[in-house]
Amino acid sequence: MQDRPSAAKTVAAAFYVPGQYTPDKSVGYLMRKVLSSILSQADAQLAPHDVTYVQYLPLYKLLRSDCDTVAALSRELEIDPGAITRALDRLEAKGLVRRERSTADRRVVHLALTDAGRAVATQVPGVLAEVLNGHLSDFSYAEWQQMLQFLQRMLANGDALRQSSSKHAA
């Protein structure tokens, strides 16, 4: 496989042409439909754990100690702070998360998993693996790896486009 030039240096490919664009051939539309299917199945499979996928995300990040404030979770998960706050309110009501005011800065509220929250957070990855494996059931290992590479490359291209447009705007 040859090395490709970086996305920032490559002229945009013309895979889509105005007037011939249809959603059923749109990568974005199809990815959105796949994501919707995954989330729907994940929510159904997570119901016995009394959490939704959106509620699981902060549990997972708290379990990994990646983030411990609403602002950090919002940035990391790329979810609106209001939506994260609502999810945390539900998790707190279920006894899975607790809020602790910082002793160093009273404006800061840290988030922590309860023992019950930790138990749920450790069980959920198995459920999500089952849902994803179901969506990939007729893929080969090589196809799965190739899809991951394609998606990572699309993300890198998107990052390069964002950086390029922000440089031109400045």
Q: Are residues 73 and 114 in the same domain?
A: yes
* pLDDT given at position 9: 54
CB 70 within 8 A of CB 62: no
- Tell me, yes or no, whether 15 lies in a domain: no
Q: Are residues 50 and 113 in the same domain?
A: yes
Residues 6+ apart with CB under 8 A from 109: 69, 70, 99, 100, 101, 102
Q: Are residues 99 and 152 in the same domain?
A: no
- Tell me, yes or no, whether 16 lies in a domain: no
- Tell me, yes or no, whether 18 lies in a domain: no
- Our count of domains for the chain comes to 2
The encoded tokens of residue 6 equal 């970086």
Q: Are residues 69 and 99 in the same domain?
A: yes
Q: Are residues 143 and 74 in the same domain?
A: no
Of 57, 66, 38, 47, the C-alpha closest to 134 is: 38
Domain residues for the domain of 149 are 139-170
Q: Are residues 91 and 151 in the same domain?
A: no
Q: What amino acid is encoded at 91 in this protein?
A: L
CB 157 within 8 A of CB 7: yes
Q: Is 167 helix (H, G, I), strand (E, B) or coil?
A: helix
Residues 6+ apart with CB under 8 A from 35: none
Q: Are residues 123 and 166 in the same domain?
A: no
Specify the CATH number for the domain of residue 52.
1.10.10.10
Q: What amino acid is encoded at 143 in this protein?
A: E
Please state, in angstroms and rounded to a whole number, the distance separating the CA atoms of residues 27 and 138.
20
- Tell me, yes or no, whether 3 lies in a domain: no
Residues 6+ apart with CB under 8 A from 110: 68, 69, 99, 100, 101, 102
User: pLDDT tens string for the chain (170 positions)?
Assistant: 455 555 445 556 788 888 888 888 899 999 999 999 999 999 999 999 999 999 998 999 999 987 889 999 999 999 999 999 999 999 999 999 999 988 888 888 899 999 999 999 999 899 999 999 999 999 999 999 999 999 999 999 999 998 988 887 76
* pLDDT given at position 34: 96
Q: Are residues 122 and 46 in the same domain?
A: yes
Q: What amino acid is encoded at 32 in this protein?
A: R
- Tell me, yes or no, whether 108 lies in a domain: yes
Token pair 């160093």: residue = 104
Q: Are residues 159 and 107 in the same domain?
A: no
* pLDDT given at position 10: 55
* pLDDT given at position 164: 86
The encoded tokens of residue 167 equal 């440089």
- Tell me, yes or no, whether 115 lies in a domain: yes
Q: Are residues 113 and 35 in the same domain?
A: yes
Q: Are residues 121 and 170 in the same domain?
A: no
